[in-house]
Amino acid sequence: MDDISYMIAIHELAKADASHAITVSAHTTLGTSPIVRFGTPEQQERFVPLLASGQVLGGFGLTEPGAGSDAGGTQTVAVKADGGWVLNGSKIFITHAGVGELFVATAATDREKGSRGSLRLSSPSRPRIWKKRALGIGHSEELPFAEGVRAGKKKTRWDGAPPTRVS
Protein backbone atom coordinates (compact mmCIF):
# COMPACT_ATOMS: atom_id res chain seq x y z
CA MET A 1 0.00 0.00 0.00
CA ASP A 2 1.03 3.67 -0.17
CA ASP A 3 2.62 5.93 2.48
CA ILE A 4 -0.71 7.41 3.64
CA SER A 5 -2.11 3.91 4.25
CA TYR A 6 1.02 3.10 6.22
CA MET A 7 0.61 6.24 8.38
CA ILE A 8 -3.05 5.47 9.03
CA ALA A 9 -2.16 1.93 10.15
CA ILE A 10 0.55 3.19 12.56
CA HIS A 11 -1.78 5.96 13.81
CA GLU A 12 -4.57 3.48 14.53
CA LEU A 13 -2.19 1.13 16.37
CA ALA A 14 -0.90 4.07 18.44
CA LYS A 15 -4.42 4.95 19.57
CA ALA A 16 -4.50 1.61 21.37
CA ASP A 17 -0.83 1.25 22.32
CA ALA A 18 1.92 3.73 21.36
CA SER A 19 4.61 1.20 22.26
CA HIS A 20 3.19 -1.36 19.85
CA ALA A 21 2.96 1.29 17.12
CA ILE A 22 6.64 2.19 17.49
CA THR A 23 7.59 -1.49 17.39
CA VAL A 24 5.82 -1.87 14.04
CA SER A 25 7.13 1.41 12.68
CA ALA A 26 10.75 0.86 13.83
CA HIS A 27 10.66 -2.62 12.29
CA THR A 28 9.23 -1.49 8.96
CA THR A 29 10.39 2.10 8.43
CA LEU A 30 13.72 2.11 10.25
CA GLY A 31 14.76 -1.52 9.96
CA THR A 32 13.34 -2.73 6.65
CA SER A 33 12.93 0.22 4.29
CA PRO A 34 16.67 1.12 4.06
CA ILE A 35 17.35 -2.42 2.84
CA VAL A 36 14.44 -2.24 0.38
CA ARG A 37 15.59 1.14 -0.92
CA PHE A 38 19.36 1.01 -0.68
CA GLY A 39 20.39 -2.61 -0.07
CA THR A 40 22.23 -4.73 -2.60
CA PRO A 41 20.11 -7.31 -4.48
CA GLU A 42 21.74 -10.01 -2.29
CA GLN A 43 20.79 -8.19 0.93
CA GLN A 44 17.25 -7.65 -0.31
CA GLU A 45 16.80 -11.28 -1.30
CA ARG A 46 18.26 -12.58 1.94
CA PHE A 47 16.85 -10.22 4.56
CA VAL A 48 13.60 -8.67 3.30
CA PRO A 49 11.53 -11.90 3.31
CA LEU A 50 12.58 -12.57 6.92
CA LEU A 51 11.59 -9.02 7.92
CA ALA A 52 8.44 -8.72 5.80
CA SER A 53 7.06 -12.03 7.03
CA GLY A 54 7.67 -10.98 10.62
CA GLN A 55 10.00 -13.92 11.23
CA VAL A 56 12.61 -11.61 12.73
CA LEU A 57 12.44 -8.11 14.16
CA GLY A 58 14.53 -5.38 12.57
CA GLY A 59 15.84 -2.05 13.82
CA PHE A 60 18.01 0.94 13.04
CA GLY A 61 21.09 2.23 14.84
CA LEU A 62 21.93 5.87 14.30
CA THR A 63 21.84 7.56 17.72
CA GLU A 64 24.98 7.53 19.84
CA PRO A 65 25.68 8.76 23.35
CA GLY A 66 27.12 11.99 21.87
CA ALA A 67 24.86 12.63 18.85
CA GLY A 68 21.24 12.06 17.82
CA SER A 69 19.66 14.81 15.72
CA ASP A 70 23.15 15.72 14.52
CA ALA A 71 23.70 12.53 12.51
CA GLY A 72 26.94 13.89 11.05
CA GLY A 73 28.40 14.10 14.56
CA THR A 74 28.24 10.35 15.17
CA GLN A 75 31.55 8.64 15.80
CA THR A 76 30.99 5.06 14.58
CA VAL A 77 33.35 4.19 11.72
CA ALA A 78 33.33 1.45 9.10
CA VAL A 79 36.57 0.16 7.64
CA LYS A 80 36.77 -2.27 4.69
CA ALA A 81 38.32 -5.62 5.59
CA ASP A 82 38.27 -9.15 4.15
CA GLY A 83 35.56 -8.47 1.58
CA GLY A 84 33.28 -6.94 4.22
CA TRP A 85 33.26 -4.09 6.71
CA VAL A 86 34.37 -3.82 10.32
CA LEU A 87 32.29 -1.37 12.35
CA ASN A 88 33.61 0.22 15.51
CA GLY A 89 31.31 2.25 17.69
CA SER A 90 28.49 2.38 20.17
CA LYS A 91 24.79 3.20 19.76
CA ILE A 92 22.12 4.20 22.26
CA PHE A 93 18.28 4.30 22.46
CA ILE A 94 17.97 1.61 19.77
CA THR A 95 14.44 0.25 19.56
CA HIS A 96 14.51 -3.61 19.59
CA ALA A 97 18.15 -3.80 20.73
CA GLY A 98 18.46 -7.13 22.52
CA VAL A 99 15.42 -8.69 20.83
CA GLY A 100 15.83 -7.74 17.14
CA GLU A 101 18.04 -9.74 14.80
CA LEU A 102 18.64 -7.47 11.84
CA PHE A 103 19.90 -3.95 12.32
CA VAL A 104 20.73 -1.26 9.82
CA ALA A 105 23.46 0.87 11.37
CA THR A 106 25.05 4.13 10.31
CA ALA A 107 28.81 4.49 10.24
CA ALA A 108 31.18 6.95 8.60
CA THR A 109 33.44 5.55 5.91
CA ASP A 110 35.18 8.88 5.44
CA ARG A 111 35.24 11.28 8.37
CA GLU A 112 36.23 14.20 6.14
CA LYS A 113 32.99 13.89 4.18
CA GLY A 114 30.95 14.16 7.41
CA SER A 115 27.43 12.77 7.13
CA ARG A 116 27.84 12.29 3.37
CA GLY A 117 30.31 9.55 4.22
CA SER A 118 27.66 7.63 6.14
CA LEU A 119 27.00 4.10 5.12
CA ARG A 120 24.05 1.99 6.14
CA LEU A 121 24.88 -1.63 6.63
CA SER A 122 22.71 -4.53 7.52
CA SER A 123 24.19 -6.48 10.36
CA PRO A 124 22.67 -9.62 11.87
CA SER A 125 23.09 -9.24 15.61
CA ARG A 126 23.52 -11.78 18.37
CA PRO A 127 19.98 -12.56 19.47
CA ARG A 128 19.12 -13.30 23.05
CA ILE A 129 17.01 -16.28 22.11
CA TRP A 130 15.70 -16.95 25.61
CA LYS A 131 14.44 -13.39 25.80
CA LYS A 132 12.86 -13.55 22.36
CA ARG A 133 11.04 -16.76 23.26
CA ALA A 134 9.75 -15.17 26.45
CA LEU A 135 8.38 -12.26 24.43
CA GLY A 136 6.98 -14.47 21.67
CA ILE A 137 9.31 -13.00 19.03
CA GLY A 138 10.51 -15.11 16.09
CA HIS A 139 14.04 -16.16 15.28
CA SER A 140 15.83 -17.35 12.15
CA GLU A 141 18.51 -20.05 12.46
CA GLU A 142 19.92 -19.02 9.08
CA LEU A 143 21.17 -15.68 10.41
CA PRO A 144 24.77 -15.92 11.61
CA PHE A 145 25.86 -14.09 14.71
CA ALA A 146 27.78 -10.88 14.01
CA GLU A 147 30.87 -11.15 16.16
CA GLY A 148 31.23 -8.28 18.58
CA VAL A 149 27.64 -6.98 18.32
CA ARG A 150 26.29 -6.80 21.84
CA ALA A 151 23.17 -5.22 23.30
CA GLY A 152 23.91 -3.26 26.46
CA LYS A 153 21.82 -3.01 29.58
CA LYS A 154 18.31 -1.78 28.85
CA LYS A 155 17.90 1.84 29.87
CA THR A 156 14.72 2.74 31.67
CA ARG A 157 13.67 5.90 33.37
CA TRP A 158 14.22 4.04 36.64
CA ASP A 159 18.00 3.94 36.07
CA GLY A 160 19.97 6.31 38.24
CA ALA A 161 17.94 9.02 39.90
CA PRO A 162 14.47 8.25 41.28
CA PRO A 163 11.60 9.20 38.94
CA THR A 164 10.39 12.79 39.06
CA ARG A 165 6.68 13.25 39.62
CA VAL A 166 5.05 15.79 37.32
CA SER A 167 1.78 17.26 38.54
As beta bridge partners, residue 85 has 80
Q: In sequence order, which ranges of 26-141 are alpha helices (DSSP H)? A: 33-38, 41-52, 129-135
Residue among 80, 103, 75, 97 at smallest CA distance from 153: 97
Within residues 66-105, the interface with ligand FAD by CB under 6 A covers: 67-70, 93-95
CB of 140 to ligand FAD, least distance (A): 20
Determine if 35 is a binding residue for ligand FAD (CB under 6 A).
Answer: no
Torsion of CA 19, 75, 150, 129, to 10 degrees: 40
Please tell me whether residue 114 binds ligand FAD under the rule CB under 6 A. no
Q: Quick one: which of 77, 71, 65 has its CA closest to 155?
A: 65
C-beta of 48 vs 97, nearer to ligand FAD: 97
Q: Which of 39, 58, 61, 124 binds ligand FAD (CB under 6 A)?
A: 61
Is 59 an interacting residue with respect to ligand FAD (CB under 6 A)? yes
| Span from 36-44, 63-71, 139-147, 158-166 in contact with ligand FAD (CB under 6 A) | 63-71
Say whether 141 sits in a helix, a strand or coil: coil
Our finding on whether 107 is near ligand FAD (CB under 6 A) is no
Residues that bind ligand FAD (CB under 6 A): 26, 30, 59-63, 67-70, 93-95
